[in-house]
Amino acid sequence: MVLHKVARRSEIQENKGKEVKIENARIAVFYTKGKYYAIDALCRHQDGSLAPGRVDGEIVECPLHSWHYNVRTGELLDYVKGVKLTTYEVIIKGNDLYLDV
Ligand code: FES
pLDDT in tens, 9-53: 999 999 999 999 999 999 999 999 999 999 999 999 999 999 999
What's 12's DSSP letter? S
Confidence class for position 1, pLDDT limits 50, 70, 90: confident
Among protein residues, the one with the nearest Cα to ligand 1's atom 4 is 65
Look up the CATH superfamily of 3-100.
Rieske [2Fe-2S] iron-sulphur domain (2.102.10.10)
Pocket test for ligand 1, best of 59, 65, 83 (most atoms within 8 A of CB): 65
62-94 in b/e form (b: 16+ CB < 10 A) is beeeebbbbbeebbbeeeeeebebebbebeeee
Cα→Cα distances 36→9, 65, 67, 79, Å: 9, 24, 21, 26
Please list the residues that pair with 94 across neighbouring strands.
none
Pocket test for ligand 1, best of 26, 42, 45 (most atoms within 8 A of CB): 45
pTM of the entire predicted model: 0.96
pLDDT of residue 26: 98
